[in-house]
Structure 1
Amino acid sequence: MTKSLSRSPRWIALAAVCAALVTVTAALPAGAAARQHPAPAALGVPERIDPAVLRASLGTPGDGLFAGAMARVGGRDGRWTGTMGAVSADPDASFRIGSVTKLFTSTVVLQLVAEGRLSLDTPVQRLLPGTLPAHWQPITVAQLISHTSGLPRAACWDPHAVYTPADLVRTVTECPEAGEPITGPDIPQVYNGVNYFLLGMVVEKVTHHSYAHEVSRRIVRPLGLRHTYVPAWGETALRAPALAPQLPPTDPWPWAEGGMVSDAPDLERFLGQLLRGRLLPPAQQKLLFELPRHAERGFTRGGVQYAKLPDGTEVYGKSGSYGGYTNGVFATRDLRRSLVYSLVPLTTDDREIAKRYLSIADAAF
């Protein structure tokens, strides 16, 4: 039995999250060269956090659309945390962060670039010989990070099988319906989790340590993130109290693409330190704010998700969805305001899910 990975429920929800948050960037000129956004002023950022508006943005249990919601708003203007519905009364409880994991992965890779262990122009075929078909054109580390690799998204996999990262990449490269990568001088930005499975494999090949070890050594321990970790292969239970009743994961082990667990305080601290430049040297730090050519999906050259909200506020961070949670962590570049949210949807209507988290973002920023 086979199934298209790009059509699995988690990937559909994740794609919807990303699309809704970055549609406001669609007005970018199609041929614009890579450019750096200046640090925005407090355009559109309210002076004070409004608890009533934030509480209302989480919704009510009676709407039948969400089992619960959590939001944590911070920054120089104040702080607010709250929950709604059948989730832990403790907004600091842990949850599966889904594709927010990609921010950790790209940070580790950029640190390795800064150390001279590899370069952004290094082809993944050189780092991982035999992983991709030999006749494919070279795909660079930079293209993987910014989702401009052109790799196909379709995959053939058995939902009852257990895959290693290499096995999962093979379900793409050997799937008849996947086709070959998009090639050319201006490859469009296509969000693709396979890019980050490959980056996780690159981390392990270059360092000779596990991906989990490098994330812990380089980010988790230095920042004192007490509830952030990469689960072991086959580890399904959360190690700390969960934000909501857990659902068993149904997709392949998402690992460096979307498998991490964290909580709101840890995510707020991680993104804050990343945007402050505490994790990367200047040459790599600037990539966090540069959009590549044809950045229709709103991901920077450093793998950060960028969006401009309707009132003009520019935010940076990442959204994600896995194991019953739909999450995000975003902040203004000057860190005047930050937001971590996690929703537990009952609905499968992507429009309703998007409406809820965009309502929370509007109230937060």
Structure 2
Amino acid sequence: MWSPSKFRSERCTSMRRGRTLGMAGLACAVLVLSAPAPAAAADGVRLGDVQQAIRSLARTDGVVGAIGEVYVDGKRVGRGTAGSRLLGGKGGRIPSESRYRIASQTKLMEATVVLQLVGEGKLSLDDKLSDLLPGAYGDAAEKITVRDLIRHTSGIPDFAESGKFDVFDFTTAYKPIDLVQAARDLPQGEPGQYRYSTTNYVLLGMIIEKVTGHDRAAEFRRRLFAPLGMKHTYLPTKISDQIKGPHGHGYTPDGKGVPRDVDRLNATSWGVEGAISTAHDVSAFYRALSQGKLVPAGLERQLPRPFPNLCGGTVSSASGGLPGISSTTFSSADGRIQFAVAATLKIDNEKAMAVGDATIKAAEAVLCPGQ
């Protein structure tokens, strides 16, 4: 549902395990790009042709449209858009600055907020789930800590595996505890063993709200979006939320295999971890995070870090996937460079393996031309 090979894929594997750190998204096969155009220099950084890379990504089977923007030191130095805004080549191109769902990339933001609360003394990594949310998860909660939830070592299964939540349900409003209860009905894992699960972050969201007295969306705005100038980013909360402004539409097959528009997504179930952002805004988050501006010193090692898998290990990636969308942000180790990519889909994420590798190939062509 929403997604590393350390932010493991959620329901689908966000790019081939061991190559990327997807927070949920797509698994992948290789798409070879055509020969890159001459690289351009930007503030001392050599870059490949962004438009050509995005065009190649958009040719991948299952992709409706694709956008990408490159930032160096907070300045946009390249962008690309290809494919179409709507299915069947309709609606024109997607503006590269459009909003899109970043899916499980939201988890890294949520972990950042939790670690800020730890740094403020409002939480401890060793606090037990049973003490923070009494009754929310039964006897197992006595062995589960905040650290376990952040690292996906709680043993708690993903509520989506219950099959109780329909991606096309735009009428049922669920409470976070409903998702947690659905996970309790599934076979449990052992605390301490890695098991990627969005339920961990549903619980962390509930903890944020209890500790701060504010809803999760408000804390994200106050702690991340406003300070970082992420003016076009928000957490959807309604059961039938749509993306604001011009944007690409994603599709997922219904029970008969017919692609259906999932521009609307129930933010109380399938979209519970899905912030809506832009290439500019998500780049601002990764830049600040990489440069140590968001998490108190000494706590940053608790974050589920993106895996350094490109350009000789100097660039990392974090990705996310929800029905109809695959999004990935690549960031250099020093935080100077970000390449944010989003591809809208018309196929089931679990079958979109080629999209993940095509996204990696696009990033390699742009961020490490000639390698």
Whether TM exceeds 0.5 here: the answer is: yes
Give the superposition deviation at 1:180: 2.1
Q: Does 1:130 align with 2:126?
A: no
> Residues 57 and 128 of structure 1: is their aligned pair in 2 closer, same or farther, counting only changes over 3 Å?
same
User: Which of 151, 154, 162 is the equivalent residue of 1:155?
Assistant: 162
Correspondence for 1:74: 71
Look up the SS of the partner of 1:194 in the other structure: helix
> Residues 18 and 131 of structure 1: is their aligned pair in 2 closer, same or farther, counting only changes over 3 Å?
same
Q: Residue type matched to 2:313 in 1?
A: T
Output the CA distance in 1 between the equivalents of 2:17 and 2:46. Answer: 23
Correspondence for 1:364: 366
Output the CA distance in 2 between the equivalents of 1:272 and 1:66. Answer: 28
TM-score normalised over the length of structure 1? 0.77
Q: Which is helix-richer, 1 or 2?
A: 1
Give the superposition deviation at 1:328: 1.2
Output the CA distance in 2 between the equivalents of 1:61 and 1:223. Answer: 30
Q: Residue type matched to 2:164 in 1?
A: W
Give the superposition deviation at 1:244: 3.9
Output the CA distance in 2 between the equivalents of 1:20 and 1:257. Answer: 24
Correspondence for 2:181: 170
Look up the SS of the partner of 1:129 in the other structure: coil
Output the CA distance in 1 between the equivalents of 2:328 and 2:181. Answer: 29
Correspondence for 1:281: 296
Q: Does 1:85 align with 2:83?
A: yes
Output the CA distance in 1 between the equivalents of 2:299 and 2:141. Answer: 28
Output the CA distance in 2 between the equivalents of 1:20 and 1:63. Answer: 16
Give the superposition deviation at 1:72: 1.3
Correspondence for 1:97: 102
Correspondence for 2:14: 18
Look up the SS of the partner of 1:343 in the other structure: strand
Q: Does 1:182 align with 2:190?
A: yes
Output the CA distance in 2 between the equivalents of 1:120 and 1:211. Answer: 19
Output the CA distance in 2 between the equivalents of 1:254 and 1:110. Answer: 25
Structure 1 unaligned residues grouped into runs of 5+: 7-11, 26-45, 288-300
C-alpha contact (below 8 Å) 2:130/2:141 kept by paired residues: no
C-alpha contact (below 8 Å) 2:165/2:270 kept by paired residues: no
C-alpha contact (below 8 Å) 1:102/1:257 kept by paired residues: no
Look up the SS of the partner of 2:231 in the other structure: coil
> Residues 247 and 137 of structure 1: is their aligned pair in 2 closer, same or farther, counting only changes over 3 Å?
same
> Residues 22 and 75 of structure 1: is their aligned pair in 2 closer, same or farther, counting only changes over 3 Å?
farther
Correspondence for 1:143: 148
Q: Superposition pairs for residues 30-41 of structure 1, below 5 Å?
A: none
> Residues 106 and 13 of structure 1: is their aligned pair in 2 closer, same or farther, counting only changes over 3 Å?
closer
> Residues 345 and 106 of structure 1: is their aligned pair in 2 closer, same or farther, counting only changes over 3 Å?
same
> Residues 89 and 350 of structure 1: is their aligned pair in 2 closer, same or farther, counting only changes over 3 Å?
closer
RMSD over aligned CA atoms reads: 2.9
Give CA-to-partner distance per residue, 1:185-242, whole Å, 9 cap, x none: xx33222111100100000010011001100111111111110011122241222222
Output the CA distance in 2 between the equivalents of 1:216 and 1:47. Answer: 32
User: Which of 195, 198, 210 is the equivalent residue of 1:193?
Assistant: 198
Identical residues among aligned pairs (%): 29
C-alpha contact (below 8 Å) 2:9/2:196 kept by paired residues: no
> Residues 220 and 252 of structure 1: is their aligned pair in 2 closer, same or farther, counting only changes over 3 Å?
closer
User: Which of 36, 39, 48 is the equivalent residue of 1:50?
Assistant: 48
Structure 2 unaligned residues grouped into runs of 5+: 3-7, 22-43, 86-92, 251-260
Q: Residue type matched to 1:157 in 2?
A: K
Q: Residue type matched to 1:198 in 2?
A: L
Correspondence for 1:303: 304
Output the CA distance in 2 between the equivalents of 1:312 and 1:209. Answer: 42
Bigger CA drift: 325-334 or 243-252? 243-252
Look up the SS of the partner of 1:283 in the other structure: coil
C-alpha contact (below 8 Å) 2:62/2:352 kept by paired residues: no
Look up the SS of the partner of 1:170 in the other structure: helix
- Count of residues in correspondence between the two structures: 314
Output the CA distance in 2 between the equivalents of 1:60 and 1:316. Answer: 19
Correspondence for 1:295: none
C-alpha contact (below 8 Å) 2:122/2:211 kept by paired residues: yes
Q: Which 4+ runs in 1 deviate beyond 6 A?
A: none
C-alpha contact (below 8 Å) 1:16/1:350 kept by paired residues: no
TM-score normalised over the length of structure 2? 0.76
Bigger CA drift: 61-70 or 187-196? 61-70
> Residues 136 and 47 of structure 1: is their aligned pair in 2 closer, same or farther, counting only changes over 3 Å?
closer
